Amino acid sequence: MNQIAHALKITGMTCGCCSGRVTRVLEATPGVIQADISWQSHAGIVVTTPDLTKEQVMAIVASTGFGVSA
């Protein structure tokens, strides 16, 4: 299976609950294989199938209420 790792910078997270929320939303999304989100480093790696673009992944993160950039 082809996989793509998207590195993201995520702003606004202040605790483990924040990163957990982003992780849960991402991992519930079809095409997301794994999401490793860290509130301490304000960053994340999201592994997806080729069906999801980085822009789509960023839009999903933004929908949780946090800032995101590549």
Structure confidence by residue, pLDDT tens digits, 8-52: 999 999 999 999 999 999 999 999 999 999 999 999 999 999 999
Is the CB of residue 6 less than 8 Å from the CB of residue 45? yes
Give the span between the Cα atoms of 30 and 38, in whole angstroms. Answer: 21
Is the CB of residue 23 less than 8 Å from the CB of residue 34? no
Q: What is the pTM of this model?
A: 0.94
Handedness of CA 3, 59, 64, 31 (dihedral sign): negative
Structural domains in the chain, sorted by start:
4-69 (3.30.70.100)
Buried b / exposed e over 3-30, threshold 16 CB at 10 Å, is ebebebebeebeeeebbebbbebbeeee
